[in-house]
Structure 1
Amino acid sequence: MGRFSTPLAVEFADLGLDGVPQTARVLDVGCGPGMLTLELARRRGAAMLAAVDPEPVFVAATAEACPGADVRVAGAEDLPFADAAFGAALAQLVVHFMSDPVRGVAEMARVTTPGGRVSACVWDHGGGSGPLSSFWRVASALDPDVRTESGLNGASEGQLVDIFERAGLHDVTQAVVGCTVAFRDFDDWWRPFLGGVGPAGRYVATLDEPAVARLERALRDDLGDGAFSITARAWAVVGLAG
Structure 2
Amino acid sequence: MWDLGDAYERYVGRWSRPVAVEFLRWLDVPPDRTWLDVGCGTGALTETVLAHARPASIMGVDPSPGFLELARQRVHGATFDVGNAMELGDLQADVVVSGLVLTFVPDVPRAVAEFARAGSFVGSYVWDYTAGMQMMRHFWDAARHVDPSAATHDEGLRFANVSGEEPLRALWSGAGLRDVEVTGIVVPTVFRDFADFWEPFLGGAGAAPAYYATLPAGQQAAIRDLLESRLDAGGPIELTAKAWAVRGSR
Indicate the RMSD between aligned Cα atoms, in angstroms: 1.6
Superposition pairs for residues 158-169 of structure 1, below 5 Å?
158-169=166-177
Superposition pairs for residues 30-179 of structure 1, below 5 Å?
30-44=39-53, 48-82=57-91, 85-113=92-120, 117-126=121-130, 128-130=131-133, 131-146=135-150, 147-150=153-156, 151-152=158-159, 153-179=161-187
Structure 2, unpaired ranges of 5+? 1-11
Contact 2:33–2:55, Cα closer than 8 Å, also in 1: no
Q: Secondary structure at the match of 1:164?
A: helix
Q: Secondary structure at the match of 2:155?
A: coil
| TM-score, normalization by structure 2 | 0.88
2:192 aligned residue (174, 184, 205): 184
Report the identity percentage. 37
Q: Is 2:20 aligned against 1:13?
A: no
Contact 2:32–2:54, Cα closer than 8 Å, also in 1: no
Segment drifting more, 222-231 vs 43-52: 43-52
Contact 2:16–2:44, Cα closer than 8 Å, also in 1: yes
| TM-score, normalization by structure 1 | 0.90
Q: Secondary structure at the match of 2:16?
A: helix
Residue 73 (structure 1) shift: 0.5
CA distance in 2, matches of 1:44, 1:170: 22
CA distance in 2, matches of 1:78, 1:157: 25
CA distance in 2, matches of 1:64, 1:136: 32
- For these two proteins, the number of residue pairs brought into alignment is 233
Q: Which amino acid aligns with 1:9?
A: A
Q: Which amino acid aligns with 1:30?
A: G
CA distance in 2, matches of 1:239, 1:119: 7
Q: Which amino acid aligns with 1:139?
A: A
Structure 1, unpaired ranges of 5+? none
Q: Which amino acid aligns with 2:145?
A: A
Q: Which amino acid aligns with 2:24?
A: A
Q: Is 2:224 aligned against 1:227?
A: no
Q: Which amino acid aligns with 1:74?
A: G
Q: 1:80 to 1:120 in 2, by over 3 A?
A: same
